[in-house]
Each structure stands twice: as structure tokens, then as C-alpha cells.
Amino acid sequence: MSYQQQLLPHDEYNLELQANVHPLEWVNPKPRGRYNLVVIGAGTAGLVTAAGAAGLGAKVALIERGLMGGDCLNVGCVPSKAIIAAARRVAQIKQSCEMGVKVDRPQVDFSQIMQRLRRLRAEISPHDSAQRFSELGIDVYFGQGSFVGGDAIEVAGQTLRFKNAVIATGARAAELPIPGLSEAGYLNNESLFSLTELPLRMVVIGGGPIGCEMAQAFARFGTEVTLIEQAAHILIREETDAAKIVQESLIADGVKLLSSAKVKKVSTDGQQKIVHIDQAGQPLKVACDEILVSIGRTPNLDGLGLDAVAVNADPREGVEVNDRLQTSNRNIYAAGDVCSRFKFTHSADFMARIVIQNALFMGRSKFSSLIIPWCTYTSPEIAHVGLYPAEAAEQGIKITSFTQTFAQVDRMILDGDRQGFVRIHCRQGSDKIIGATVVGTR
């Protein structure tokens, strides 16, 4: 999907966003000799790498073919949290009667919710703007960056010479090989936030973090949501009892869950889409107005010319890197979603810091030294860090687990937030924490 398609509708807020993160009148600078660092991709990993390197006195070029800010600003963290925040307000109003506070049934103005999303995204966008990074002393180029030699990248008809380069091109939503899906039309994280009307019925394919967050949010707005998950329950990466607490909450919010189910094909009947499903051998059909595909990510490798610089990459796994985030070409590094299974903004940020140290100062910082937490912003939220019990068992590590349920915590009882727990896994016989899971409100 092109960045122009991501910026629908063409209202004042999206025009403001574009003026900041891909200004149409932008004129690429002339190359200033050999750069210490050329960064391809201006998402979180690329922006942090470029800004950090320039702040340390390096001569830096930054290349972006789409929108600066990457997924996080444009089609990820920022817009999704705006939707989740609005959905939580709806839920709080509905739940207020339990506290003795009686209010009228909330009226959801979806077009206003989405307008607020676009307004706040545009308000935040100067932080990731071409103008700001240019003022930091970085040469900002718009266009497809392609390696054309051992120390050269071509962009928009110009050749940039580099001592070191960084691939930070991120990833995009995968295309699922479901017969009829493309013909019927579907949404993914890149197109979902361009909606201006609330769908009456939505099918969400995939019970991972994005699917669960959006399924719950749209159900709270009033959409009839069906969530299809191939596994026995949602959020299969998380501890089972934690995931099931979230699952029960989604169902309570009106999400219809079809677990152990697989989409076989999609057809159309007039304006509606028909999703054909096999659930444990039983055929089902679900009619809907929109389909949201929230499963799978594909690394952005197209057009990079990696063969020209002997950089190894896998179409599904992305660019191959060692523990110092160095590719098979010792002068080229990679950071962020294009090379990592941890597809989080904060992970991309810290990978960028490792790249700066290793590329500019011959450092020996290692990705494996990072301890990476993550959170799924459902209600209740679920967060984790370190090893899961199954991973500890695979590594031959014996653990002792300690669990405190919120149903036994006075504050949570009074707030009406009894769901959830804190669980800490320690190495058996010691107080060394090797993993933890929290599921609960806020």
C-alpha cells in the first residue's frame, strides 16, 4: 500500500501530517561527500539511529520512500492507542452503573473518534518530521534507496557514498493466501485507520495482539465482531490462564470468538462479504461488512538491492544479522522489524542504540543483552518479560512461580478491577527473577 492510500481521507489533519512526514515540495539535498552513516528507513529504528549518530557528530543521510515515523506514528502505536482510548471511555460509561453512577447509554460518534485520531496524529508528527531531522544536521532524502555497490546507495537519481549503512525498512502486513480475500477486499493495520464510518459487522482474522485489541475496541463501539483464531485460544504466546482472562473479557464485551477455526475462502453477496470457515471439521459462514486481517508480518526487502552488497536475507524472516546487528556485509547493519522477531517500537529504539555504538565506535554491544518487555493493550492489559515456563523447561531451568491475584488486593477490589494477577518466575532455590507476567487493568 502506498503512503497516499494510508492518508485517507484527504482532510486538513492528514494534509498536515503529510506536510511534516513526506512534504510534497521537499527537494532532496545534494550529497555531501562520503557519509559516516546512511540509514534506509525512517521508522523508529531509522530515526533513532540517524538522530543519535548526528548528535555524536557523524555525517548522516536518512532515506525514506514513504512516511517518516514509520508504522508507529502512521499506522501503528499512535492511531491504535487513540481508538483504544475512546473504546475504554465507552466501556467505563457502561460499567459505571455497577458503581452506583447512572448515566444514559453512550452514543458513539465514530467519525468524531477518527477525526480526533487524525488530529492528534498530526499534532504529534512534527517530532518525526523531515524539517526537524534536517535541522539536526541530517540530509533527508525521499525515494527508494537501493544499494548499487559496496559503498554506494542510489536514491532518486543520486548516489550516496557511505562508510557504514543501516537497513531499517521495517515490515508490513502479510498477504494471506485465502481464496477470494483480495477480490472481496479487506483491511489491515495500514488501511484500518482510514475508516470514517463504523462497520456494522466485522470479521477479524487472527487472535494476536493487534486482532484482540481492535476486536475489543470495535465491539465496544457497537460493531458486531467475530474473531477467528486457529489455535484453541487467543494470544497463544502468553501464559494460558492469563490469555484466557483477556479472552473472557473480549467475550463479555460482545466479541464472538471462533477458536480452533480456519478461514477457507471469502466470497461476496452483493455488498456483504461472506467468510467461509472450518471450525473443528464443521463448516461455518459469517457475513460481514469489513474483514480485518491481523496476522503475519512481511519484512520490507523489496527494492533494496541486497544482492549488490552480499547481504543475506530471508523473505519471511528478514535481514540476517549477528548478535551485534551486523549483516553478512561487515559495513552494513540492520535494526527494527526488518531483522527482529520482536516487532515493538521500544525494541527498535534500543536496537538502534546498539547499531550506533557498533557502527561508529567499533563497539561490542549485543542484542542478546537486552531484556525486552511487551504489552498488549486489551482490557485487561497483558504484559510479559523474560522467560515463559515452557521456555524455562526447554532450557532445563527449574523454576518456582509466585502468583498474586488481584481478587485478593483491596485496591483492585474497590476499583472494580478484580480480574488478573501478577506472576513472577524465579530460578528454583534462589530469588533471581527469570520471567514475569502481569494481566490486569492499567
Q: Which three cell numbers stand for residue 158?
A: 543520486
82 pLDDT more than 60: yes
Q: How far is CA 271 from the centre of its chain?
A: 30
CB 378 within 8 A of CB 246: yes
Q: Give the model's pLDDT for residue 105.
A: 83
Residues 6+ apart with CB under 8 A from 192: 75, 214, 292
Instruction: Report pLDDT for 391.
Output: 96
Closest CA to 261 of 241, 244, 242, 286: 286
Predicted local confidence at residue 398, as pLDDT? 97
Q: What is the mean pLDDT of residues 295-299?
A: 94
Beta strand 290-293 with 201-205 is parallel
For the stretch 21-49, pLDDT in tens is 999 999 999 999 999 999 999 999 999 99
Query: What integer best gives the mean pLDDT of the chain?
Result: 96
What pLDDT, on the 0 to 100 scale, is given for residue 36? Answer: 98
**The three cell numbers locating residue 257:** 470468538
pLDDT the model gives residue 362: 87
What integer pLDDT is reported at residue 90 of this predicted model? 96
Share of the chain above pLDDT 90, in %: 94
* Count of all residues that appear for the chain in the document: 442
Q: Is the pLDDT of residue 148 over 60?
A: yes
Instruction: Convert the pLDDT of each residue in 362-413 to its tens digit.
Output: 889 999 999 999 999 999 999 999 999 999 999 999 999 999 999 999 999 9
Quick check: 249 and 216 in contact, CB under 8 A? yes
- 362-368's contacts with Cβ under 8 Å and 24+ in sequence apart are 363/324, 364/324, 365/324, 366/323, 366/324, 367/321, 367/323, 367/324, 367/325, 367/340, 368/323
Q: Name 400's bridge partners.
A: 426
pLDDT confidence of residue 2: 58
State the pLDDT at residue 3.
Answer: 60
CB atoms within 10 A of CB 157: 7
Indicate the pLDDT class of residue 106, thresholds 50, 70 and 90.
Answer: confident
What's the rounded Cα separation, in Å, for the pair 182 and 187? Answer: 10
**Sign of the torsion formed by the C-alpha atoms of 14, 292, 239 and 90:** positive
Which strand ranges, in their side-by-side order, compose the sheet holding 282-288? 261-269, 272-279, 282-288
pLDDT-based confidence at residue 104 (cuts at 50, 70, 90): confident
Q: Is the pLDDT of residue 5 over 90?
A: no
Out of 49-63, 95-109, 115-129, 251-265, which region has the weakest mean confidence (pLDDT)? 95-109
List strands edge to edge, sheet with 290-293. 256-258, 224-228, 201-205, 290-293
Whole-number pLDDT of residue 112: 98
Cα angle 24, 55, 366 (rounded to 5 degrees) comes to 105
Predicted TM-score (pTM) of the model is 0.95
Average pLDDT over residues 330-353: 97
Q: Is the pLDDT assigned to residue 347 strictly greater than 60? A: yes
